[in-house]
Amino acid sequence: MATIKDIAAAANVSAAAVSRILNNDETLNVSPETRQKVLDTANKMHYVKRNRVSVKTAFTMGIVQWFSSQQELEDSYYLLIRQGIEDYCISHNIQVVRTYKSDVNYFDALKDVDCIICIGKFSKTEVESLVNLNPKILFLDMPVKNSDISTIMIDFEHAVKLVMDYLTGLGHKEIGFLTGKEYVSPEQLYPDYRKKVFVSYCEEHQIHYKPYLREGLFRIDSGYEMTCDLIRSKTLPTAIFAASDPIAMGAIKALTEYGYRIPDDISVIGFDDISIAEFTMPPLTTIHAPAYNMGHYGASILHHIIRQQSGTAMKIQLPCSLAVRESCAAPE
């Protein structure tokens, strides 16, 4: 029975190359002629792949998550992105090395990976260090000005305008905005693109918003506290736009405790469309952000870059949609 070494000698190709060609390793950089020569030689020599021979993992993808594992459990947005990546890798026989920015010496875990995909927010210094570690890199949910680095983001401008057109279409002229502050380093505040578009929209359309704008954290308890502050200040708008579903859920809890009816007394709308959003009371109207698809697309793009050994960087914005449920209505 012919072996890989026999085929390698007959085709004048290394045994390692023969093994990878016979196992359909698309990352191997050989000419089509060489690949066909090996296949023809194996056919002529009646080579039969043994069942015990397994396909070697093509390459390893490192995942850097800016959230901790505990934060992932509290807000599933970034968890969905990571699941999209890992599902793609499983289906394409790609080994995954997962690490969190909160891990001690997380760079060490990424030294031997073939490519890196970064989820979330990173400082300029961190971006430069990661790119120097491995230029085959892609950032998800964060813009990077470097034209040689691929990024995939949500189209925040379109998403916020969807919300505001919907609320103003219902007749709301007093709209609050609850958001969170995020820091990529102790001294660097990450800009909230949703807030920027919201303020611009309100000023352009003469929407009363300034007394109703609050900034806390992207957490349920922060949404609760920000809404309680609005209630205690006696400055409630007719609608609240929360920059995340957890913030919106905290707002609903506060309003309910104070005796406000949703949506009869006040409307609430969220952002992300995490799985629990449709099970709140009432079910939450929210922006559906394609988090899982973002991760899946990101892994696919990196896979393509590795297979082609090169590639033009891509700057991609994914559109959102509005999931209309029962938490919004026309103001009384």
The percent of residues in the chain predicted with pLDDT above 70, rounded, is 94
Q: What is the pTM of this model?
A: 0.79
pLDDT of res. 298: 95
Distance CA 85, CA 120 (A): 13
Token pair of 220 as six digits: 């349920």
Alpha carbon of 241 to those of 77, 228, 280: distances in Å?
18, 15, 16
Residues 1 and 45: beta-carbon distance below 8 Å: no
In degrees and rounded to multiples of 5, residue 65 shows phi and psi of -110, 125
Of 140-149, 222-231, 318-327, the range with the lowest mean pLDDT is 140-149
Q: What is the DSSP string of 319-330?
A: --EEE--SS---
pLDDT of res. 299: 95
pLDDT of res. 209: 97
User: Environment class of residue 317 by beta-carbon count within 10 Å: exposed (0-12), middle (13-18) or buried (19+)?
Assistant: middle
Choose between 295 and 32: higher pLDDT. Answer: 295
Residue 49 confidence (pLDDT) above 80: no
pLDDT, tens only, 151-165: 999 999 999 999 999
pLDDT of res. 50: 54
**Residue-range domains of the chain with CATH:** 4-44 (no CATH), 60-153+291-318 (3.40.50.2300), 156-289 (3.40.50.2300)
In degrees and rounded to multiples of 5, residue 270 shows phi and psi of -110, -165
Contacts of 71 (CB under 8 A, 6+ apart): 78
Terminal-to-terminal C-alpha distance of the chain: 84
- Residues comprising the chain, all counted: 332
Distance CA 279, CA 267 (A): 16
Residue 51 confidence (pLDDT) above 50: no
Distance CA 232, CA 236 (A): 9
pLDDT, tens only, 235-290: 899 999 999 999 999 999 999 999 999 999 999 999 999 989 999 999 999 999 99
Band (306; pLDDT cuts 50, 70, 90): confident
Residue 53 confidence (pLDDT) above 50: no
Nearest to 159 by CA among 274, 286, 279, 48: 286
pLDDT of res. 12: 87
Residue 55 confidence (pLDDT) above 70: no
